[in-house]
Amino acid sequence: MGIHTYVAKRIALSALVILGTITITFFLSRMVPSDPAALWAGQHPTIEEVRKARVMLGLDQPLHVQYFSYLTKLMQGDLGVSIRFKRSILGDLLFYLPATLELIIAGFIIALAIGIPLGVISAVKENKIIDHLTRTVSIAGASIPVFWLGIVFQIIFFGMLGILPLTGRVSSEILIANPIKRITGFYLIDSLVTGNWAAFTSVLVHLVLPAITIATYPLGLCMRMVRASMIEVLRENYIRAARASGIPERTIIFRYALKNAIVPAFTAIGLSFAYSITGAFLVEFIFSWGGVGSYITYAITTIDYPVIVGVTIFVCVFYVAINLFLDIFQAVVDPRVKY
């Protein structure tokens, strides 16, 4: 089996997973005891308004007809219309996504920048004090709930020390006096491109607490994965041979060992990145971030089922796509992978 067949097979499987998710979420959302038509009509609607809404939303059709028309629309990239906001879900998602992506990418960079070196140190100093310390940190990082940590950070850094902002992506003063022109939706990029330095600093400062909060889980995971595979690699014969030939320890660790150790760790770390998009929802909630998390939170509490289904499908596609990318990446990079 060549690499092309492998890739084709992986893509076909991924498509199947996505179709399964769509089907399950669609039918689950219809089984929930609620009346979307009444939601559409508003808080105190009349019977006539509800009836009108039901026809307009196509809810008077049999379920399988609704399902296939939903699939057809989905193929054309139409996720439907939100019941509460009465706007296109895809448009809303694209609007909110940059905020969430900015947050998880920042968090992921922090996780990698701290996690990999700590993992390496931990492996090199196996069973020494520093190893125990970093392992404790990694377990804590992977197990402390982010919603708790976020609030504690807020109390310490905003409430007690007063050095970091409480909520939002940018301060309200900047927003009113010096607004960021929306180009990509990534505030860091937009403010940089437009040369809005005051806004750039404000965005950066606002990013610190939520990014650290969201980084804790991938950080702990990254540290442990790197440590485990580093220990394994350091015991290999070729490392011993390298040591015997007098190659400096630094070169051995970073050039010879880490290069081989990082590839297996990469899959787990990559998946934790995909996973952090759902973790971001909680963090967004606490820091009033205004990303996909805020969008889905409101949708869930108000049973806005097209949004729930839409975001679920989106997250599923995101996760599957990253998984697929990692698989292919590994197959290409690592000659040991068999397919």
Partner 1 sequence: MEIVKKMSKRVMMSRRAVTKVQAAIIAVVIIVAVVVAAYVWWPRPPPGPIMKLLATYHGPDPDEMKVAEMMKSELAKLGIELEVRGMEWVAQWDLAKADPMKAQHIFIFYWWPTILSGYDFLVNMFHTEEEIFFNLGYYYNSEFDNLIDEAYSLEATDPKRALELYREAQKKLVEDDCASIFLYDLMNTHVIREGIGGYVDNPAYPHVALFRDLRPPAGETTFRRAEYGTIITDLDPSSQFSNEIVIIAGNMYEPLTWVTPEGKVVGVLAESWSVSEDGLTWDFKLRRGVKFHDGTPMDSTAVAESFERTRRMGMGAAFIWACVDEIVTFEEDPYLVQFKLAFPAPLDKIAAASYASWVFSPKVFDIGDDDAVHEWLNGPPPAGVFAGDPPYDVGTGPYYLAEWVPGRHVVLKRFEGYWGGWEGGPYYDTIYIEEVVEPATREEGILGGVFDWTYMLPKEHLEKIHEGPVADVISVPSFQNLLGLLNMKSPPTDNPLVRKAIAYAIPYQDIIDEALLGYGMQSRGPVPAGLFGHIEDLFQYTHNLEKARELLREAGYTPPASAMAAAGSMAYMELLVPCFYAMTCLVKREWEYTPT
For 63, 109, 171, 318, the CA distances from 79, given in Å and listed in that order, are 17, 31, 33, 15
For 67, 266, 323, the CA distances from 21, given in Å and listed in that order, are 13, 26, 15
* Of the residues 173, 241, 249, 334, which one makes contact with partner 1 according to CB under 8 A: 173
CB of 281 to partner 1, least distance (A): 11
> Site mask, partner 1, residues 231-270, x = CB under 8 A?
----------------------------------------
Residue number with CB closer to partner 1 (20 or 159): 159
The residues pairing with 88 across neighbouring beta strands, listed in sequence order, are 81
* Of the residues 92, 131, 190, 327, which one makes contact with partner 1 according to CB under 8 A: 92
- Determine the Cα–Cα distance for residues 30 and 13; give it in Å rounded to an integer: 26
Reduced to 3 DSSP states, what percent helix, strand and coil does the chain have, rounded to the nearest 5?
Answer: 75, 0, 20
Q: Minimal CA–CA distance to 115: which of 269, 333, 249?
A: 269
* Of the residues 109, 179, 251, 321, which one makes contact with partner 1 according to CB under 8 A: 179
CB of 84 to partner 1, least distance (A): 5
The answer to the question of residue 62 lying near partner 1 (CB under 8 A) is no
The answer to the question of residue 87 lying near partner 1 (CB under 8 A) is yes
* Of the residues 5, 46, 72, 143, which one makes contact with partner 1 according to CB under 8 A: 46
The three-state secondary structure class of 168 is: coil
Task: Say if residues 96 and 87 touch (Cβ distance below 8 Å).
Answer: no
Task: Say if residues 214 and 146 touch (Cβ distance below 8 Å).
Answer: yes
CB of 321 to partner 1, least distance (A): 21
Helix orientation angle between 89-124 and 129-143, rounded to the nearest 10 degrees: 160
The answer to the question of residue 80 lying near partner 1 (CB under 8 A) is no
The answer to the question of residue 23 lying near partner 1 (CB under 8 A) is no
CB of 292 to partner 1, least distance (A): 10
Checking phi first, is residue 80 left (phi over 0); if not, alpha (psi -120 to 50) or beta?
A: left
Q: Which residues, at least 6 apart from 163, have a Cβ–Cβ distance to it below 8 Å?
A: 157
The answer to the question of residue 165 lying near partner 1 (CB under 8 A) is yes
Residue number with CB closer to partner 1 (80 or 290): 290
Upper half-sphere CA count for residue 180 (Cβ side, 13 Å): 24
Q: Which residues, at least 6 apart from 249, have a Cβ–Cβ distance to it below 8 Å?
A: 243
Q: Given the structure tokens 């690499």, which residue do they identify? A: 3
Residue number with CB closer to partner 1 (131 or 284): 284
The answer to the question of residue 145 lying near partner 1 (CB under 8 A) is no
Residue span binding partner 1 (CB under 8 A) among the ranges 161-169, 211-219, 252-260, 316-324: 161-169
* Of the residues 26, 295, 314, 319, which one makes contact with partner 1 according to CB under 8 A: 295
Residue span binding partner 1 (CB under 8 A) among the ranges 195-203, 244-252, 272-280, 295-303: 295-303
Residue ranges in contact with partner 1 by CB under 8 A: 32-35, 38-39, 41-49, 52, 84-88, 91-92, 94-96, 151, 154-155, 158-159, 162, 165-168, 172-173, 175-176, 179, 182, 185, 285-288, 290, 294-295, 297-298, 301, 303
